[in-house]
Amino acid sequence: MKKNAVTNYVVHPLIEARWSPMAFEEQQISEQQIRSIFEAARWSHSTRNEQPWRFIVANRLSHPKVFKSILSALDETNQAWAVRSSVLAISFAKKNFDEDDSENRHAWYDVGLATAQLTMQASQYGISIHQMTDFDTEKVCSDFKVPENYEPVVSMAFGFVGNPKTLTAELEKKERAPRVRIPQPKFVFGKRWGSPFVG
């Protein structure tokens, strides 16, 4: 199943094709592909080149215990479909700078940049990534003994898009629903706030 963006202007085909599925194929993601995906994160840009991103990653077939541990931290709705994903991961932000221990106000922003980048690298392999914020961050910190100066940002389910019929009726309806976006004039401004940009 495809849910390509219906764009008003030209975008890169990988951006057009990316979406967040819940139904996944029973297909393994190779270690090589996982490595490439996180290499894309590695080469993302960041404030002062601090690289404040960290990830815990579990391949369902090769690391079932870690996979289950991440899965158990997700809320019930996310667990229902993420259980069939091929890889689960959690991103973390390092809250302070290495150099002087001061607060890094942009750590989350940088983790988001790295995540966007790894998502596009995954897309190149036909792998979709569905991000989730509905998870128990305290459980994650305790189960994985996360140091105090790091905080969980987002959990992610990776996989190849599967048949929506494998989902519950409610989730299948959501899976098939059209993707919607606000139009550019509502968020790209020109002369003043709220006034649409004109080229």
Ligand X SMILES: Cc1cc2nc3c(=O)[nH]c(=O)nc-3n(C[C@H](O)[C@H](O)[C@H](O)COP(=O)(O)O)c2cc1C
The contact set with ligand X (CB under 6 A) reads: 19-20, 78, 131-134, 154, 179
What HEC string does 114-141 produce?
HHHHHHHHHHHCCCEEEEECCECHHHHH
Q: Which is nearer to ligand X, 97 or 108 (CB)?
A: 108
Q: In what order do the strands lie in the sheet with 53-59?
A: 53-59, 87-94, 150-159, 128-132
Give the nearest distance from C-beta 45 to ligand X in angstroms.
Answer: 19
Quick check: helix, strand or coil at residue 167? coil
Give the nearest distance from C-beta 16 to ligand X in angstroms.
Answer: 11
Give the nearest distance from C-beta 179 to ligand X in angstroms.
Answer: 5
Cα 157 to Cα 21: distance, rounded to the nearest angstrom = 9
Q: Which is nearer to ligand X, 1 or 188 (CB)?
A: 1
Q: Which of 40, 199, 51 is nearest to 125 (CA)?
A: 40
Q: Which is nearer to ligand X, 5 or 61 (CB)?
A: 5
Q: Which is nearer to ligand X, 141 or 154 (CB)?
A: 154
Cα 88 to Cα 91: distance, rounded to the nearest angstrom = 10
Give the nearest distance from C-beta 198 to ligand X in angstroms.
Answer: 27
The CA-based angle 152-4-7, given to 5 degrees, is 100
The two three-digit tokens of residue 38, written as one number: 């996180």
Q: Which is nearer to ligand X, 74 or 146 (CB)?
A: 74
Give the nearest distance from C-beta 104 to ligand X in angstroms.
Answer: 19
